[in-house]
Structure 1
Amino acid sequence: MTEICNEVNLMIPPLVTIKVSDITFVKQVRSLFLKRKTSQFDYLQDEIANSAALLSRLMARRKNSFHNMNGFKFLCKLNTALSRLLKLDVENRLSNFYQMLPDSSSYNHHEVPSRNSFDYILLRLMSVHKIYQRIAYCCLESATYFNKLLRNNFFMETITLFLAVIAKLWDLTNKLGNTYSEFYEKLMPFRKHFPQVDSQNSFKNVDFPKELERFSIKPTAHIEIDKDPAQVNSIRMDKEFVNTTPIPVVSVLQKLQKEEDFGMPISRESLKPVIDLSRIHNVDDIREFFKDEDAKRQKCLDSCATKYVLKHEWLAIQKLVERKIIANDHKKALSVFRKFITSKT
């Protein structure tokens, strides 16, 4: 069973439709497929695809720096599991099976897919569940390692990005994994209603569980992996962190108010801009401003509004504005003057 579940390129059984006497269960199966495809589910699918693409780009950028680190090996395994999830393409398989089900207009034909096709869908749901377990395990292991590096101040910016992407993948994995688990449990009771052809039963030796293991939203303290190498890593998601005694919070606000000197309050009037451009409406105002500033710059440069403007810049803006005025382009002269003053003050 485990080997079949792990096969990504599992052969699709031949499509065989069989006539049945009672077809009412098909309506319930179709409603389950329709209710599963919500806007929230589509959003989570797009987010995990974008996060996986971002992770692969970050790994390609820093592969030379981290390729000898043990934590980076778990990151490579995480990327491999995400690629395997994309290759599985379980949504396309589910969509194909849904189209095989008769709709309301064809209920009188009393033909439904065989149990062989339905078992294939259940196997694909089990496969995607195992892959999500593998992704969750790699997220925990790589995040634990990068957290140790972060405490030692190694590659602060890069590791922060890695941890952010890993945390997002962990959250999306738990939500989507539970979605597939619930969908599997809802489909499982209808397996007995699909007709079976003994000569074409490809999964007669497969043991289908009644329910799949749920994912825990919170990180777990213990991760148990099956020792059998022929089986996929199985994560037990039911053991959460042990609650520790909370650290008491001591308020130090009163002590700071008594002992610390917070200085003198600053008036908001001093934060206003020195040059009020709203008073400059025409070229005459600009010339008057240049004249006053020239006088102030000659006496004391630190006391004038244009003290951060260099001497050659001040002469250049005056020549440029005067050239626009001579060309009778007063609007352009005002625009050039305002942009220059705004950029320098």
Structure 2
Amino acid sequence: MELWNKRDLAPPVLITFKCKTKHCKEDIRALCTALSTALRYFESLQSFEKAAAYVSRFSIRWNNRFYNMHGFRLLKRLNQALLRFRSVDIVRVLTDLVSMMPDVNYLEKTVDLPTRASLDFLLIRLQGLAKLFFRIVVLSKDAAKYYIRFISACYFFNLSSMFLCLLAEIWYKSRDICQQIGKFYNQLFPLRMLLADDGNEWPSKGAAALPDNLVAWMGDDWTEEIVIREDQSTVLNLRPGTDLFLLLTGEEEDLSSSRKIDARIDSKVSATKDSATSLPRTILMQNIKSDIGEVVVRQTKKPKEKQIDWRPVERLKSKFDVKKFLEEEKQKRKQDLPRALTSKVNSAAFNAFASSMMRESGKMSTGDYVRVFTEELEALVGKKKTSSKKQIKR
């Protein structure tokens, strides 16, 4: 088994060596920049990880219902490939390497660099990821072909549409990841000769037999599925009238399956037209005429004004009752203003009214004081009593 295909490949021991930077400053900067760029890219794949989590959830949620369907089996294989990508943990490998690199802004005469085995381990992991994401791209496309046939036949339309959207997202982002992996590998491979060999021959002799160009090593299938070319429109057979079914299935010139589906749709449409023309003209016009319904005009009703409850005022019989009423009214205005009798009176007017009535309490008799207080309160509120009240003459 080749090294890139070993899932449990043990990493080398992280060792550094002293390197003089007199003649290799640019190469050291290029190595640090390439490693930092790769680390930032793989850390920014949150949207892809979210889509991969949806694939895992879907494969578990609908396993009992669709476990025997070929398209769902492809989805489960895709889930296994995505789980293997998480087990590689390429971010940790890049983090270990970046932590051992010097600061590119200021390079001293002698710096500490990791050994060549550490970079070879990263290149081997990139090889494995390239193969893995190529498999993800192929599985996504094959599963999408299967579900697009379901959609065209209106079979489990809602679930198939949801699966198709998810597979399209996985396919699109995996192709971009494949291109970035090839770019990072081709940038890092020429710089491996900058690093010294520690002599431990990790993991065995001939382990550093790495390809010079990852894209060429992947072969023609990589070029067909991953590399974007200018003549891609001709490869995908994009002609006038090409629909999503033809784009995903990639049928030959006869297009027998798509023609069968188009014929079935045309037959349904023609049957609907024939049934419509066979109806009497009056019934047909009633069906065509749009029913806008009865026009309803909403009448806005004015809200009824809340009537003032004068019963507490009618029960006033003495100066003590008037004083107690004013104290309760002040408390209501502070705690619950809508319940107060003088809720619509501003604070300045009410305070002036209360102060004047307290001053007049010692100048009048009890009957006159209660009558004057009631009249002044009615004038202050601006409302007439709702219940009859005995008038007290001066």
TM-score normalized with structure 2 length: 0.56
Is the CA contact 2:19–2:113 (under 8 Å) kept in the aligned structure 1? yes
Q: Which string of whole-angstrom CA distances, capped at 9 and with x for unpartnered residues, describes residues 248-271 of structure 1?
A: 9xxxxxxxxxxxx9868979x957
Rounded Cα–Cα distance in structure 2 between residues aligned with 1:86 and 1:282: 69
Aligned-residue offset at 1:6: 1.3
Q: Which has the larger radius of gyration?
A: 2
For 2:304 and 2:32, locate their aligned partners in 1 and report how far apart those are by CA, in whole Å: 72
- Conserved 8 A contact 1:137-1:235: no
Q: Which has the higher contact order (CA 8 A, sep 6+)?
A: 1
1:170 is matched with 171
- The count of aligned residue pairs is 254
Alpha carbons 2:66, 2:72 under 8 Å: kept: yes
Q: Distance in 2 between matches of 1:175 and 1:236?
A: 11
Alignment correspondent of 1:243: 237
Aligned letter for 1:19?
Answer: K
**Alignment partner, residue 62 of structure 2:** 62
Give the structure 2 partner of residue 318 of structure 1: none
Q: Which residue of 2 aligns with 1:118?
A: 119
Residue 4 in structure 1 maps to residue 10 in structure 2: no
Matches of 1:187 and 1:328 in 2, distance apart? 80
Equivalent in the alignment of 2:141: 140
- Tell me how far apart the structure 2 counterparts of residues 126 and 55 of structure 1 sit (CA, whole Å): 24
Report the Cα offset of residue 328 of structure 1.
6.7
Could you say what secondary structure the match of 1:200 adopts? coil
- For residues 1-345 of structure 1, the aligned pairs below 5 Å read 3-22=2-21, 23-24=24-25, 25-36=27-38, 42-43=43-44, 45-104=45-104, 107-202=108-203, 204-213=206-215, 236-237=225-226, 240=232, 241-247=235-241, 270=295, 274-276=298-300, 279-280=302-303, 282=305
Q: Per the alignment, do residues 134 and 270 of structure 1 end up closer, same or farther by CA in structure 2, a change over 3 Å counting? A: same
Q: Residue 185 of structure 1 aligns to which amino acid in structure 2? A: N
The one-letter code sitting in structure 1 at the alignment partner of 2:198 is V
Q: Alpha-carbon deviations, 1:99-137, whole Å to 9, x = none?
A: 111225673443311111110111111111111111101
**Superposed displacement of residue 26, structure 1:** 1.9
Residues 282 and 161 from structure 1, CA distance in 2 versus in 1: closer, same or farther, beyond 3 angstroms? farther
Report the aligned-residue RMSD: 3.5
Distance 1:180 1:135 in 2: 14
Letter of the 1:186 counterpart = Q
Q: Deviations over 1:210-256 (max 9, x none)?
A: 23239xxxxxxxx959xxxxxxxx975458534354149xxxxxxxx
1:154, distance to aligned residue in structure 2 (A): 1.4
Percentage of matched positions with identical amino acids:
23
Cα shift at 1:144 = 0.9
Q: For structure 1, list consecutive stretches of 5 or more residues without a partner in the other structure.
A: 215-222, 226-233, 249-260, 285-326, 330-345
1:43-67 C-alpha deviation (Å, 9 max, x unpaired): 4x10111111111212222111111
Does the C-alpha gap of structure 1 residues 63 and 128 become closer, same or farther in structure 2, counting only changes over 3 Å?
same
- Contact 1:133–1:235, Cα closer than 8 Å, also in 2: no
Cα deviations by residue, 1:285-308 (Å, 9 ceiling, x for unpaired): xxxxxxxxxxxxxxxxxxxxxxxx
Contiguous gaps of at least 5 residues in structure 2? 243-284, 308-337, 341-394
Alpha-carbon distance in 2 for matches of 1:282, 1:31: 76
